[in-house]
Amino acid sequence: MHYARERWDTPDGDFVEVDWLNTASAASREPSAVAVADQPLVVLFHGLEGCSTSHYAHAFMDEVAKIGWPGCVVHFRGCGGTPNRLARAYHSGDSSELDWMMRRLRARHTGPLYAVGVSLGGNVLLKWLGEQGSTLSHVVSAAAAVSAPVDLMAAGDQLGRGFNLVYTTAFLKTLKRKSLAKLADHPRLYDAVRVRRARTLRAFDAVVTAPLHGFRDTDDYWTRASSKPVLGGIRVPTLMLNARNDPFLPPDALPSAASVSACVTREFPDEGGHVGFVSGAFPGHLRWMPQRVLSFFGHRGC
């Protein structure tokens, strides 16, 4: 997969990095050159510690390229390979940041704009959609959230026990490394000893994520950042795709039909794991998920 990178300066003096599938258009940096005006533009928001080279981003952008649409992967702060400038990073409820990103894309593209959020990015996207409601009718044409941990309390507790600690350990490896490196530019930002000792996301969020982003503690963060309470406010055609065997979220934490708006299509297959949905003969392929999402975007309406 070949990308062309842009760096966007944020309103508060930081930056994010955006990888464009349409390399010729992106390289020109002209506002009108991101895509042909009438073509749909697909933007993907990655998961925790993900990026444009994550397996799901590759699979998704490959399908976008096949149908001839332009696309991009927007990195949350510090996830594009370069440490961000400010003490803050990104978090599961960072809907204000996503709002700025989406409105910037809307300002430079006149065709349909489709948003996809994966895992953490899916929760942020759903929270934004629910909070903003009908005000987004001219910003985003349709959206999809894949394997979104919509109930962060349930998801966080699920990742803190049993075999799921394998996933947590993998996340913490990069989260700890980046957090400790940040202390070189921001001394006494948090307790380095507590960061090193963290063995669960609950412990890490208590010392780093929650205080850095204005939350009282982990419980406050997980409660206020969850998208599940605002799903009834969504007024944009939205697909929620979650497997019931997703190890990150117990099936009883998935939203009921009564808790989402009429604009939300809930699709909860029994199999698929977390951002997996492997299909075909062994060893399988990852095309089913992006093809399902792109098919949904081709049939808009609510």
Rounded CA-CA distance 158/162 in Å is 8
Q: How confident is the model at residue 302 (pLDDT cuts 50, 70, 90)?
A: low
Instruction: Check if the beta carbon of residue 147 is closer than 8 Å to that of residue 56.
Output: no
Q: Out of 19, 94, 205, 246, pick the active-site residue.
A: 246
> Residue 299 has what pLDDT?
57
Question: Helix, strand, coil % (nearest 5) of the chain?
Answer: 40, 15, 45
Q: Read off the amino acid at residue 21.
A: L
Output the DSSP codes for 85-139. SSS----TT-HHHHHHHHHHHHHT--S-EEEEEETHHHHHHHHHHHHHGGGGTTT
The average confidence (pLDDT) of the chain is 93
What is 4-151+226-297's CATH topology? Rossmann fold (3.40.50)
Residues pairing with 74 in the sheet: 18, 45
Average pLDDT rounded to a whole number, residues 187-205 = 97
Q: What is the pLDDT of residues 137-165, one digit of tens each?
A: 999 999 999 999 999 999 999 999 999 99
Can 274 be counted among the known catalytic residues? yes
Which tokens belong to 79?
């996830």
Neighbouring C-alpha atoms within 13 Å toward the C-beta of 63: 20
Can 119 be counted among the known catalytic residues? yes
Cis amide leading into 187 (omega within 30): no
- The structural domains of the chain, with segments of one domain joined by +, span 4-151+226-297, 152-225
Q: What is the pLDDT of residues 3-19, one digit of tens each?
A: 999 999 999 999 999 99
Q: Out of 52, 92, 95, 119, pick the active-site residue.
A: 119
Q: What is the pTM of this model?
A: 0.93
Instruction: Check if the beta carbon of residue 116 is closer than 8 Å to that of residue 144.
Output: yes
Rounded CA-CA distance 139/26 in Å is 20
Exposed e or buried b for every residue in 31-68, given b needs 16+ CB within 10 A? eeebbbeebbbbbbbbbbbbbbebebbebbbebbeeee
Q: What is the pLDDT of residues 212-225, one digit of tens each?
A: 999 999 999 999 99
Lowest mean pLDDT among 27-41, 84-98, 189-203: 27-41
Q: Is the pLDDT of residue 61 over 60?
A: yes
Residues pairing with 143 in the sheet: 115, 238
Can 261 be counted among the known catalytic residues? no
Rounded CA-CA distance 244/267 in Å is 10
End-to-end CA distance of the chain: 34
Rounded CA-CA distance 174/169 in Å is 9
